[in-house]
A = this chain, B = another copy of it.
Amino acid sequence: MKTLLLLRAVLFPALLAVGSAIFAADKPNIVIIFADDLGYGDLGCYGSPTIRTPHLDRMAAEGLRFTDFYSAAEVCTPSRAALLTGRYPIRSGMCGDRRVLFANSAGGLPSAEVTIAEALKPHGYATAHIGKWHLGIHAGGRPLDQGFDHSFGLPYSNDMDGRPGLPRGASGLADPPHDGWNVALLRDGQVVEQPADQTTLTRRYTEDAVQFIREKKDGPFFLYFPHTFPHVPLFASPAFKGKSRAGIYGDTVEELDWSVGRVLDALTKEGVAERTLVFFTSDNGPWLIMGDQGGSGGLLREGKGSTWEGGMRVPGIAWMPGRIRPGVTTELAHAMDLFPTSLALAGAPLPAGVTLDGTDLAPLLFDGKPLPPRPFFYYRGDQLFAARLGEWKAHFKTQTGYGQPKADTHEPPLLFHLGRDPSEKRDAGAGHPEVLAQIQEAVQAHQSGVVPGEPQLK
């Protein structure tokens, strides 16, 4: 008896302490780094001949690089809403004719939507948003309203809030006016600088992220790190400006790459790299009409704003040293998968009564298992323009991202084999009616389950 009591008195608390450590270790940290308007072809590891990205290349070499990773939308606001909620933006109402939220928009991410931050918080996660938000500036839709303990960054895109007298097209200039925009830098909802000095943003975001990692290293934590660049107007710090052979666009991507390196180094230095999943991706394809100030979709057709591949297929790199076996995967995955993946890693239940559009990537990331076959839907605003099933993609409507005022409707739909024809050059529809039928069936099944949310981008 005495022995047993002793066991209870001495060992049980010790076991509990161990258990709590295991508990923390069992809940990996999650870091999502999100670039803005970075194209599929803009990183060295994705074949850029001009932009040097040694840190992202190392992340890819040590991690899993996706060849077929998609953003959930062709422009900024819907893409971000979908990533954080795991749902096509049509469900949250975060899409529509105005395409994104503007400084004068009344809407925002509805309170009823559950973000990754909100889902992880009850499970002991410290949560931070660092960078661009663009999901609403009014009560209910702001970072601190949506599950983030901490927030530092811009409320929306860096080309909004143009100051009086700013010439039209100034955001696309090689050397845009420093004081052209009045966008504010906010910390936890309070303005700390206005206008924000855009040349310092990448550096200051990064310092803030590294500090958050240091402070929360005992974990678990969730860091959502959506960068301001390479969205125009392009500003780089003096250490990067004028250094890239790809011009100012390359300068900002190379500074972003430096930032990624700093985050990975901080995780390694704090001894938490092995229990932190880092995922890097972009919100949509390159903004082609910006010319030298826009990026490249590589061999993919079109860019930002379009449902051609270049508009929505983006870099996707997962890193968790010792857990993810280094390699390249051609599995189709997308930004909405990060919601269920994050919750599964945290051991958090999926939110009740919420329709999700992603799948848990863990079996692929950690065991190299193929994902279940599933369709992917390409929306432009609130309209479904195209759908992919396996290697086949059908376009019901097509439109360039910018400059084409009205969509072309295709009946029968255009059909491309993305394996043999990743550049979508050769319509193969005539020879494959059975493929088109399968895709149309998948579209109907999807659409019958969609309840459009109250439109927020009015």
Contact = CB atoms under 8 A, between A and B. Distances in A.
State how many copies of this chain the complex holds: 2
A47 B298 contact: yes
A245 B419 contact: yes
Contacts of A425: 291
Nearest to A426: B291
* Residue among A67, A299, A422 facing the most chain B CB atoms (10 A cut-off): A299
Contacts of A57: 328
Interface string A101-126: 00000000000000000000000000
Interface in A382-431: 391, 417-423, 425-426
A246 interface: yes
Nearest to A309: B49
A78 interface: no
Given A49-B68, A57-B328, A296-B423, 16 more contacts: A44-B328, A49-B313, A50-B67, A50-B330, A52-B328, A61-B61, A244-B419, A245-B419, A245-B420, A246-B420, A247-B420, A291-B425, A292-B426, A297-B299, A298-B299, A299-B299
A101 to B, nearest CB: 31
A419 B47 contact: no
Contact of A419 (B41, B50, B391, B422): B50
18 contacts: A41-B47, A45-B47, A47-B47, A49-B67, A49-B422, A50-B330, A50-B420, A52-B330, A57-B328, A244-B419, A247-B419, A250-B420, A291-B426, A292-B417, A292-B421, A296-B299, A298-B299, A299-B299
Interface in A13-50: 41, 44-50
Contacts of A423: 296
B68 A298 contact: no
B67 A330 contact: no
Grouping DSSP codes into helix (H, G, I), strand (E, B) and loop, the A interface class, with mixed when no group exceeds half, is: loop
Contacts of A426: 291-292
B299 A41 contact: yes
A249 interface: yes
A41 B298 contact: yes
A297 B244 CA distance: 23
* Residue among A67, A297, A313, A426 facing the most chain B CB atoms (10 A cut-off): A67
A401 to B, nearest CB: 15
B245 A292 contact: no
Contacts of A421: 292
B245 A50 contact: no
Contacts of A67: 49-50
B47 A46 contact: yes
A401 B52 CA distance: 30
A279 to B, nearest CB: 18
Interface string A278-309: 00000000000001100011110000000000
Contacts of A46: 47
A330 B419 contact: no
B249 A50 contact: no
Contacts of A41: 47, 298-299
A47 B53 CA distance: 14
Nearest to A418: B50
* Residue among A46, A49, A391 facing the most chain B CB atoms (10 A cut-off): A49
B50 A422 contact: yes
A422 B297 CA distance: 12
Interface in A47-97: 47-50, 52, 57, 61, 67-68
